[in-house]
Amino acid sequence: MNETCFFFFLAFLASGFPSGAPTDACFSMIPRHMDPVTNNQVLSQNSNSSFDISVDKSNFEIGEAVKVTIYGPPFKGLFLVAVKDKSNNMPSGRFYHENDLVKTISCSNKNDGITHTSDKWKDSVEVKWYGPDHSNIDEIHFR
């Protein structure tokens, strides 16, 4: 039986920790960056993102790779998960990458998040995402 998925996107990009987001950001999606001058926590962005996420298909069969591209003005850090239900933030599926700009992290399952590896400037990042093989998915939200 073939399952399909329709995509809706949310992106969270920030000037991040030099070697990637910590796993405690997996569920809150709050960056927890500190201002180097005031030593206070930097507040989360509350406006529309200037970054976009594109995928190479509007639906997919379970186990099939979906190419996910994050792009926009130059950025240093990123953190991305895919969630089935946007109300609970539980990461779904797994990521795979073929470049040294990013690395996978494990939030609730192996490789279910992706983050940057350094604070070098980048204007796009491409990864592959594989949907879970154990669930019937109607929609996925990339955050």
Which pLDDT score is estimated for 67?
92
pTM: 0.73
pLDDT tens for 12-61 read 443 346 656 666 667 766 666 666 677 776 666 677 778 888 888 877 77
35 burial type by CB count under 10 A (0-12 exposed, 13-18 middle, 19+ buried): exposed
Domain architecture of the chain: domains with CATH = 6-21+48-142 (2.60.40.4060)
Phi/psi region, residue 111 (left: phi>0; alpha: psi -120 to 50; beta: rest), is left
Structure tokens at 31: 């960056």
Which pLDDT score is estimated for 125?
95
Q: Is the pLDDT of residue 63 over 70?
A: yes
Structure tokens at 36: 């180097």
Position 135 confidence tier, pLDDT thresholds 50, 70, 90: low
Residue pair 32/21 in contact by the 8 Å Cβ criterion: no
